[in-house]
Each structure stands twice: as C-alpha cells, then as structure tokens.
Structure 1
Amino acid sequence: MTPRDLWLRFETYHDVTYFTPESRAVTDALGCKGGWMGYFGMRAAPLGEAAPQTVTAAFFSFHPRKVERALPDAWHVAPARRFLQARLEGVDGALRRMLGDVTVPAELVEIAVAAASAIPLAGRPLGAANQALPLPDEPHLALWQACTTLREHRGDGHIAALVAADLDPCQTLVLFGADKGLDPAYLKIARGWSDDEWRAAVRALTHRGLYSEGVLTPAGHALRADIEARTDAAAAHPWSAVGDDATRRFLDLMTPIARRLGVANDAMRVNPMGIDPVRELPG
C-alpha cells in the first residue's frame, strides 16, 4: 500500500468531473463557450469568482493565455455558486451511468470523508476550498466530494514540490512527459504552451543537465523521483489521521469502483496525469 495506490483510486473517481458528456452538457446549457470554459469554471468555482491570475497560480500547469480565454468570462455566464451546482449535476449523471447498479458502500464514504476532513489547510488553496464546501447527501456524491478534496490537496503539495525544485510549468510538463512517455504535442495542446515556449523549456532543462535528446538524464530521473517522494510525503497526513486499518479498507473498497470507472470513462484513455486505471488497478 503506497501513496500512489491511494491516489490512483481517488484520482480515478474524481476524474468523472470535467470531460464526460454529462458535464459538458451541463456547462453548455449554462452558456459556456466550449469545454475549457466549463472546465475552468467548475474547477475554479470553490475559490469563488477568482481572477485568471489566481487560477493560473493555483492550477500551475496551464499557460496564462489558456486560462484567460475562459476567465473571467465564465463568471459572466454564471456565478461560481452555479458552477458548483453544475459540476455536481454533471458528476451525478456520469457516475450513475458508469457505476450502473454498483452501490457505493457507506463504510467507504465514511473513511473518505474522514480523510478529507483531516487535510492540513495551510498552503493548500484548492484542497481547503473544496473541503469547505457542503457535503452532498447522496453517498456517491459525498464520496466524490471527499475524493476531490483529497485530490486537490495532493495537487497543492505537488505544486509546492515543483516550485521548490525551481521548475516552471512548461519545464515541468517537458520532464513529466519524457518520464511518462506522453506525446509533447498532446501536452502542449492540453495546457496551452507554444512550440517556442516548449523549446525554451527544453533548453533550460538541458542547461541544468536534466534532459537530453528527448529523454531524462540520470539527474532528471533523480529529480522526478524526489518530487514524487515529496508529493507523497506531503499527502500522507489524512491517511495517518484515519489509521492503517481504515486506509487499507479504503483501498480494498475503492479498487473495484475505480477500475469500473477507468474502463467506462473515455477521458481516461489519454490523460495529462499519465495514469491508466485499467492497467494499473487489479482486475
């Protein structure tokens, strides 16, 4: 049982949020101009009607231009509180379709909510903002809310590790893509970086001895491993708070649900996180 084992499960449950047909239909009905406006509106909504600069800082990997194409225009389409409602509506529809007759165990919800309630808040803007939201009554949505809080809390810690490593967002994507075998063209489009900006990041990483000819150097691999270790350590507190037995129980109960979602969610076929629940979760 490793921190990555836990992350893979709650990340997969969270990932029904933004790119399913159900979520896209809800944000289209609000009047969003394209899927990315819906994404930024729904994900940023726990922060309130935040400025694009704030969202760029909190999300880290997106080019400011990509954020600015969606915000603040999204807040003219609908207030943040309506985007919060919209994302629950989309998640509800997506989970009902993908889970079918699978029942979310009350024990699983209880453990996930307890872990999410125990996240440290200092320096965790997205984790804290999601933790502050009311918990939905329905078990499958309460589990989603807890998983989303845990996911954003882990992401906040990951960003802190990247900043400490003196990596900017585009450099981070270059290293991550090389490590995980992700297509640079896909990452550039997904996060909004130009060819010139990507090449500048490659030059900077090459100068630092982290990257060479499309692959990580030994120093690059060591830095990536250190960042992941720091991310895992920063994400450990909620699970220490609930204890080893509850953490193992979460793992056991969540595995078949996460695997089912990994199979059913088309957005998981290719994703910027570099995870494959179908391959990585036991069947």
Structure 2
Amino acid sequence: MTVTPALARRAWGTLETLHVTGFFAPEVTAAYDRFGVPATRAGYFAARGSAFGPCAPELVISTFYVFAPKLVRAAVPAVWAAGTPEEWATARRDGVAARLHDVLGEPDVAEAVELAREACAGLTPAGRPVYAAWSAQPWPEDPLLQLWHAGLLLREHRGDGHVTALLSAGLDPVEALVTGGLASDSTEFVRTTRGWTDEEWAAGVERLRARGLVDDDGLTQAGRDLRDDVETVTDFLAVEGWAHLGEDGIGRLVELVTPLREQVLASGVLPDWIRSRG
C-alpha cells in the first residue's frame, strides 16, 4: 500500500511533539545560559547549527531561512568562541534528556526506536543541507534520546523541503512568517522571536497585500490557498522516509508514541499554540 503525504504528516506530527520540547524546555535554556553568550537565541543557533561545525552566520541565515540576518550575526560566530559545536550540541541533548525523563520517566521505547530509525534509514541528503549535516552525527546512547534524535532527523529533512516549498511559492522570510503565523495562529510567537523590526514586518505585510494574499482580516482566500499549497508540497517532499518504513510500520510507531506525545502535551512545557493543535 502507498504511504500518502497525509499519513506521513500524521506520523511526523506524532514524533515531532517529543522533538520540539528541545526548543522550549527550561533545562535546555539553562544549559545554553552557562555559555554566557548574551545574544538573543544564541543557544538555538549554536545547538541547531552545531552539526555544520563552527560555521559562518551566512550558512545559518540561508538554511534556517526565516530569521533576520542581524539576529543571527549577533550570535554567530560569537557562540563558537564560547564553546565548540560539540559542546553546544551536548548541552541541548542533556537538557532535552532531563526534560523528557522528568515528564516520561523511563518508558520502554525499544520498538518505537527501531521503527523510527527505519524511517530515518529511508531519508536522502540531496538538497537537504540541515538534514545532511545532522545525518552525519552519532546517535545518542539513551533510548529515549534516540527517539528524540530520530525526530530531529525527520524534522530537519522536512524543514529543508519546507524551505524549498516557500521559495517555490515566492515567499521571502518575512512573508513566510506573516502567512504562516496567520495560518497557524502563531503570529505573536514568530513576530517576537525571529528578529525582524516592525518596519520590516510591515513592509512584508504590504508586499503580501499587493499580491492579494492578506487584507485587514488576515489571509485572503488566495493567501489560504497559497499556504495550503506550501503545506502540500512540504508533505509531498517529506514522504520518502515514511514510505521506506511503510504503512504498517507507521501505524505501529504512531500507536507507540501517541501516549508519550500526550504526556508531553499535558506537561505544559509547550506553548498554547502548539498544545491547541495536539
């Protein structure tokens, strides 16, 4: 049986809830703070970009796509003077482990890990720079962290494809944030965390207004259709790993991970706009 993009999206979303805790857990923030880099989101750029090695800010600007260049340049390469890429990656991993074990305890995830790793075995690196970098990194020893790491690989593979979809739709970084925020009710979060000025944001809105994609009420029908197209392309480009796992494997993985996902959602570590989609 064929694995559809919709089924692949469901599988990704189930595992993504565990992975995304690394962006919000206080233990991770505390681990970053110990490096003493005052720049906003320095730890995020350093840990997520650590698989590239001590890279220049331009690589982060290019591959992370939606962050204001000045926000990235305030943190990179200063973060590499404060710690090696390996130290930043370890800080994130240790913080995630602390949070997940606090919420989930010591669950038996051996079967889930086996299935998730099989999905990752079907991923390919061509045209996927962030995924490609992370695919060369070693897997953690902790089984629960292995499940999180599988989520990382699948997420970054999907994210690389999402950038392709945004470029194909003609949405620059600010326009992507404006339309995506309106589509997912996350405007406040993306507007306050991606580093764009009010003037840059307003200019992006006006560009979208000129294209008939937004109006005073939010996304127009054309804007909703365009965002739907972006998500459709993203889903299509993200199928390969899940197709490798197969429909039966996906069903079993979702069955195994769903109780863990529900515990994470109930823990309160994730923002309301993510929990509301749970």
Q: TM-score, normalised by structure 1?
A: 0.91
Which of 106, 109, 119 is the equivalent residue of 1:105? 109
Matched, 1:122 2:126: yes
Q: In the alignment, is the contact (CA less than 8 A) between 2:39 and 2:74 conserved in 1? A: no
Alpha-carbon shift at residue 109 of structure 1 (Å) = 0.2
- Report how many residues are paired: 273
Q: Distance in 2 between matches of 1:180 and 1:249?
A: 28
Alpha-carbon shift at residue 181 of structure 1 (Å) = 2.6
* CA RMSD in angstroms, aligned pairs only: 1.6
SS across alignment from 1:55: helix
- Unaligned 5+ segments in structure 2 are 1-5
Which of 236, 245, 250 is the equivalent residue of 1:247? 250
The equivalent of 1:275 in structure 2 is 274
Letter in 2 for 1:269: P
Which moves more between the two structures, 15-24 or 252-261?
15-24
SS across alignment from 2:66: coil
Q: In the alignment, is the contact (CA less than 8 A) between 1:24 and 1:35 conserved in 2? A: no
The equivalent of 1:151 in structure 2 is 155
The equivalent of 2:23 in structure 1 is 18
Q: In the alignment, is the contact (CA less than 8 A) between 1:118 and 1:238 conserved in 2? A: yes
The equivalent of 2:137 in structure 1 is 133
The equivalent of 2:97 in structure 1 is 92
Which of 30, 33, 46 is the equivalent residue of 2:35? 30
The equivalent of 1:256 in structure 2 is 259
Q: In the alignment, is the contact (CA less than 8 A) between 1:12 and 1:258 conserved in 2? A: yes
Q: Distance in 1 between matches of 2:159 and 2:70?
A: 21
Cα 1:280–1:206 shift into 2, 3 Å: closer
Which of 234, 239, 253 is the equivalent residue of 1:236? 239
Q: In the alignment, is the contact (CA less than 8 A) between 2:40 and 2:71 conserved in 1? A: no
Q: Greater relative contact order: 1 or 2 (C-alpha under 8 angstroms, separation 6 or more)?
A: 2
- 1:238-267 C-alpha deviation (Å, 9 max, x unpaired): 01001111011111111111111122242x
Cα 1:28–1:99 shift into 2, 3 Å: same
Q: Distance in 1 between matches of 2:277 and 2:27?
A: 26
- Unaligned 5+ segments in structure 1 are none
Alpha-carbon shift at residue 2 of structure 1 (Å) = 2.6
Cα 1:15–1:243 shift into 2, 3 Å: same
The equivalent of 1:192 in structure 2 is 195
Q: Distance in 2 between matches of 1:260 and 1:98?
A: 7
Letter in 2 for 1:221: R
SS across alignment from 1:204: helix
Alpha-carbon shift at residue 203 of structure 1 (Å) = 1.0
Q: In the alignment, is the contact (CA less than 8 A) between 1:127 and 1:152 conserved in 2? A: yes
Q: TM-score, normalised by structure 2?
A: 0.93
Matched, 1:217 2:220: yes
Cα 1:181–1:92 shift into 2, 3 Å: closer
Q: Distance in 1 between matches of 2:112 and 2:225?
A: 36
Q: In the alignment, is the contact (CA less than 8 A) between 1:30 and 1:78 conserved in 2? A: yes
Cα 1:35–1:65 shift into 2, 3 Å: closer
Q: Distance in 2 between matches of 1:3 and 1:213?
A: 35
Q: Distance in 2 between matches of 1:256 and 1:264?
A: 12
Matched, 1:174 2:173: no
Letter in 1 for 2:237: A
Letter in 2 for 1:111: L
Q: Distance in 1 between matches of 2:116 and 2:74?
A: 35
Q: Distance in 1 between matches of 2:277 and 2:68?
A: 30
- 1:2-58 C-alpha deviation (Å, 9 max, x unpaired): 333222222211112133121122222233336611111111101111111110111
Q: Distance in 2 between matches of 1:166 and 1:229?
A: 15
The equivalent of 1:205 in structure 2 is 208
Q: Distance in 2 between matches of 1:150 and 1:96?
A: 21
Q: In the alignment, is the contact (CA less than 8 A) between 1:126 and 1:156 conserved in 2? A: yes
Letter in 2 for 1:209: G
Q: Distance in 1 between matches of 2:85 and 2:155?
A: 20
Which of 41, 60, 63 is the equivalent residue of 2:68? 63
Alpha-carbon shift at residue 280 of structure 1 (Å) = 4.1
